[in-house]
Each structure stands twice: as C-alpha cells, then as structure tokens.
C-alpha cells in the first residue's frame, strides 16, 4: 500500500541497536499514521514491529538481522512499498550529537552533512547509523527535504558552570564541553507538562528522570535546561543498561597499563560491556535483573546501584535549580517499573517527594501522595512525535 495524496512527515529515530520510526499527517496535531521499530539487530532475536498501518495491522516479525546495515535495508524496503516521495513534506531525523549546532532543527545540506561526518568520532555509536540512514533515504526518496533535529539542542541554555569540563581551557575553546542528550524527550515532556498540568508547572522547577536502556536526569527551570547528567557523550552520567556512566579518569590509565587496552577497546567496554550488564554479569535489562535479584546477588547489586545513582542524581539536579516542584519519570524503566520508582523515591523525602504506593503500582499519571510537596508524574515520552513537531515548526518558520 503506497500512501498518496496527503502530505506527511516521516520521523526517524536511530539508536545504537534500534531504529524507531513514525509517519505523521502534516496538520496541527501531527496525527500518527503508523509507528514502528527494528530492535536488537545483531542478535537472533531481532524484532520488526509496526503499529497503526492498516496494511500490516500491528505487524510483529522476529528474525535475525545481523547488523545495522541490514536493518537499514529492511526498513528501506518496507518504507518504499508504502510511501511515495510525493506524499512526504519532509523526512526528519533525531541526530543525537549536535555538537556546535544549537538550534533545535535545520535542513540537511552538504555543509551540515560534512560537519556531521567530521563529528563521528564524538559519537561512534549513533552518528554512523544516522548518517547511513540519511544517505539511503536521500537515494530512495530523492527530492524530499531532510531535517536534522538535534538531541543536544535542548541543553544549549545550560550555564557555563554546568557545561565546562575541568580540563585545560584549550579544549573548551575547541568546542569540547558537556552537551547533554535525551533533549527531544525533554522537550516533549515539558510540552506535555504544560498541556496536561498547567503552564505554571512547566515554568517552575522541574526534574526529568529519563530512565531506560540509556538514562539521564535533567534539571529544568523556567522552561530552560539548566543541568543534566550526560556529558560530552551519551556514555556519561548515571549507570545505564550497558554504559558505565561517569568514571574516574584513572580507570582508562589502569586498563591501558594492566590489560594493554586500546582507546577503541576502552570505548567499547564503557558503552557495551558496563553499567547494569557489567555489574550483574548477566543482563542490562532491569526487568530481568529485578526478576533474578532474589536468587542472584550480582543482579540485586546492579538494581541497587541503578536506583541509588538515580536517586543521587535527582538530588543533584534539584540542587542545581535550588529545589524542585515537579518530578517526571519517563523512558522504559521510568514509565513501567513501579519497583524502580519506589526504590528511587524512598530516599527523596528530604526534598519533599512522597509517592502514593497504590498509584505507583498501577503506573498512574500522578503517583505523588496528597502530602507530597513535590508533584510526581509519569509521562510516556514520544521522541518520534517531537521530531515531527520540530520539523513542522521549521517548515512553517517565517
């Protein structure tokens, strides 16, 4: 089924081990037509899921997709069968590492593409796949405008005290700083907070806990990002599924001397062998670790570490903005794990956080107790919609 006629925006959200995508009608509400995901490529359990497309009716296929190149080929074949180039006003991409690009979105021209290729070493887990998708979509949908939506742009208002990395000044002058990520999710959450609660709450002191395979905590005040846990790359911050989070720099020196580890091997270790996976020795999936914890001390330790570090980071972000009025949980863990939220919030009473256990257990929209000084919410994030929204705004920018 080729979708003709109406104008649409195709949103592409490429991760290190997944590609999420969505098609939206170009109207004020950005009505979704379909959304899907290819995930876990590189394993025999790769999965291709689509919801909302009438021709597939909630397709779910599990088959081996050996690598990201094959994943892109599978997606291109599926999209070409359904979309005519004339049906697309734009194809919009989440570009994780925006580097010096501070605007929320901009057209992808030759100069921007060259700049992104120059930045690959700063984000080798995301940018190569994003660039490959841009090139393939240009080949399969010639003439359709492509737009880059930068995941780090939300954090561009962070003050220097939050963005400076304390190494020799020449690196800061060369553009090396803490950028922060999950910015499209942050922008969506703040928009939803204004719509679902009120604009006054969105203008107050907000801490966003995006907890999933990748995890970050962000402080927002007056609608502007003020600090966040991720840094120069998405490997920084709190421990994640397979990413270490912040490390003592001496560990790199130790691994180099003791194990003769190369810089590339060290980068692979901290991004793909660390975090919950590294501590447990079995899995980076918090659901699995919670299930295993009663009989597996290492799994229990990994869960405890994750919740402890998330709790510390929430306190730190509250300190960055001198208090917190609203705490929002999102991401796969933040939205779905009552156990993780309960453990994290149990140590936050001193900053005014008290949750209502029955509400927390059913993943209610509001999980704070009546006596809580801080409103605690669960908001399901939608990065694909936010990508499409940024593209829509850019298309109609005066």
Whether the predicted pLDDT of 123 surpasses 80: no
Check for a shared fold between 8-150 and 197-378.
yes
Domain locations in the chain as residue ranges: 8-150, 197-378
Q: What is the mean pLDDT of residues 150-156?
A: 93
Confidence of residue 69 (pLDDT cuts 50, 70, 90): confident
Q: Which residues contact 171 (CB under 8 A, 6 or more apart)?
A: 165
Q: What is the 8-class DSSP label of residue 89?
A: E
Confidence of residue 304 (pLDDT cuts 50, 70, 90): very high
Confidence of residue 3 (pLDDT cuts 50, 70, 90): low
Q: What is the mean pLDDT of residues 251-269?
A: 96
Percent of the chain with pLDDT over 90: 77
Of 66-70, 189-193, 235-239, the one with minimum mean pLDDT is: 66-70
Q: With contact defined as beta carbons under 8 Å apart, do 391 and 9 qualify?
A: yes
Whether the predicted pLDDT of 104 surpasses 90: no
Whether the predicted pLDDT of 56 surpasses 80: no
Q: What is the 8-class DSSP label of residue 136?
A: H
pLDDT of residue 229: 98
How far is the C-alpha of 234 from the C-alpha of 232, rounded, in Å? Answer: 7
Whether the predicted pLDDT of 344 surpasses 90: yes
Q: Which residues contact 248 (CB under 8 A, 6 or more apart)?
A: none
pLDDT of residue 67: 84
Residue 246's φ and ψ, nearest 5 degrees, are -60, 140
Identify the sign of the CA torsion 114, 118, 122, 124.
positive
Q: Is 45 helix (H, G, I), strand (E, B) or coil?
A: coil
How far is the C-alpha of 18 from the C-alpha of 381, rounded, in Å? Answer: 17
State how far Cα 223 lies from the chain centre. 19
Query: 364 exposed, middle or buried (CB, 10 Å; 0-12, 13-18, 19+)?
Result: middle
Return the CATH number of the domain spanning residue range 197-378: 3.30.420.40
Q: Is 374 helix (H, G, I), strand (E, B) or coil?
A: coil
Whether the predicted pLDDT of 49 surpasses 60: yes
pLDDT of residue 80: 94
Query: 111 exposed, middle or buried (CB, 10 Å; 0-12, 13-18, 19+)?
Result: exposed
User: Which residue of the set 123, 151, 227, 382 is catalytic?
Assistant: 151
pLDDT of residue 106: 87
Confidence of residue 249 (pLDDT cuts 50, 70, 90): very high
Tell how strand 105-107 and strand 60-62 pair up.
unpaired
How far is the C-alpha of 193 from the C-alpha of 164, rounded, in Å? Answer: 29
How far is the C-alpha of 216 from the C-alpha of 243, rounded, in Å? Answer: 12
pLDDT of residue 60: 72
Which comes out higher in pLDDT, residue 98 or 129?
A: 129
According to DSSP, the residues that pair with 21 across neighbouring strands are 12, 36
Q: With contact defined as beta carbons under 8 Å apart, do 276 and 240 qualify?
A: yes
Beta-carbon count within 10 A of 100 CB:
11
Q: How many CA atoms lie within 13 A of 182 on its CB side?
A: 28
pLDDT of residue 43: 72
State how far Cα 262 lies from the chain centre. 28
Measured at the CA of 212, the angle between CA 275 and CA 217, to 5 degrees, comes to 85
Which two three-digit tokens encode residue 32?
């979704």
pLDDT of residue 53: 63
Of 69, 65, 84, the closest CA to residue 3 belongs to 84
Task: Render pLDDT for 169-227 as a digit per residue (tens, 0 to 9).
Answer: 999 998 899 999 999 999 999 999 999 888 999 999 999 999 999 999 999 999 999 99
The question of whether 246 is a catalytic residue gets the answer no
Whether the predicted pLDDT of 398 surpasses 80: no
Q: With contact defined as beta carbons under 8 Å apart, do 18 and 43 qualify?
A: no
pLDDT of residue 114: 84
pLDDT of residue 1: 47
Mean predicted lDDT score pLDDT of the chain: 92
Q: What is the 8-class DSSP label of residue 120?
A: G
Whether the predicted pLDDT of 2 surpasses 70: no
Which two three-digit tokens encode residue 297?
């001390």
Task: Render pLDDT for 347-380 as a digit per residue (tens, 0 to 9).
Answer: 999 999 999 999 999 999 999 999 999 999 999 9
According to DSSP, the residues that pair with 224 across neighbouring strands are 221
Determine the topology of domain 8-150 in CATH.
Nucleotidyltransferase; domain 5 (3.30.420)
């Amino acid at each position: 089924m080729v979708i003709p006629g109406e104008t649409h925006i195709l949103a592409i959200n490429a991760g290190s081990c997944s590609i999420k995508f969505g098609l939206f009608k170009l109207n004020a509400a950005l009505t979704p037509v379909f959304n899907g995901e290819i995930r876990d490529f590189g394993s025999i359990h790769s999965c291709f899921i689509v919801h909302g497309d009438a021709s597939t009716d909630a397709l779910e296929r599990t088959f081996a997709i050996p690598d990201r190149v094959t994943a892109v080929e599978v997606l291109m074949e599926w999209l070409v069968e359904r979309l005519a180039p004339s049906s697309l006003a734009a194809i919009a991409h989440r570009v994780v590492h925006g580097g010096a690009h501070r605007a929320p979105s901009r057209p992808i021209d030759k100069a921007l593409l060259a700049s992104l290729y120059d930045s690959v070493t700063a984000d080798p887990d995301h940018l190569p796949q994003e660039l490959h998708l841009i090139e393939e979509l240009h080949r399969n949908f010639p003439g359709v405008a492509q737009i880059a939506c930068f995941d780090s742009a939300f954090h561009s208002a962070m003050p220097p005290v939050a963005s400076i990395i304390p190494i020799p000044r020449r690196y800061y002058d060369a553009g090396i700083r803490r950028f922060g990520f999950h910015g499209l999710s942050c922008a969506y959450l703040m928009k939803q907070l204004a719509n679902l609660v009120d604009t006054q709450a969105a203008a107050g002191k907000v801490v966003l806990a995006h907890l999933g395979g990748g995890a970050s905590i962000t402080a927002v005040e007056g609608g502007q990002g003020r600090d966040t846990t991720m840094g120069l790359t998405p490997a920084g911050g709190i421990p994640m599924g397979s990413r270490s989070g912040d490390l003592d720099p001496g560990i790199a020196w130790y691994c180099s001397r003791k194990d003769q580890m190369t810089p590339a091997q060290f980068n692979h270790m901290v991004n793909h062998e660390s975090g919950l996976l590294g501590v447990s020795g079995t899995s980076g999936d918090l659901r699995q670790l919670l299930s295993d914890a009663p009989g597996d001390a290492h799994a229990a330790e990994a869960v405890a570490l994750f919740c402890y570090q998330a709790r510390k980071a929430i306190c730190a972000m509250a300190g960055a903005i001198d208090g917190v009025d609203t705490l929002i949980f999102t991401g796969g863990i933040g939205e779905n794990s009552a156990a993780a939220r309960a453990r994290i919030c149990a140590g936050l009473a001193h900053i005014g956080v008290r949750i209502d256990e029955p509400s927390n257990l059913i993943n209610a929209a509001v999980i704070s107790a009546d006596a809580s000084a801080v409103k605690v919410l669960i908001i399901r994030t939608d990065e694909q919609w936010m990508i499409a929204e940024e593209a829509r705004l850019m298309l109609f920018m005066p």
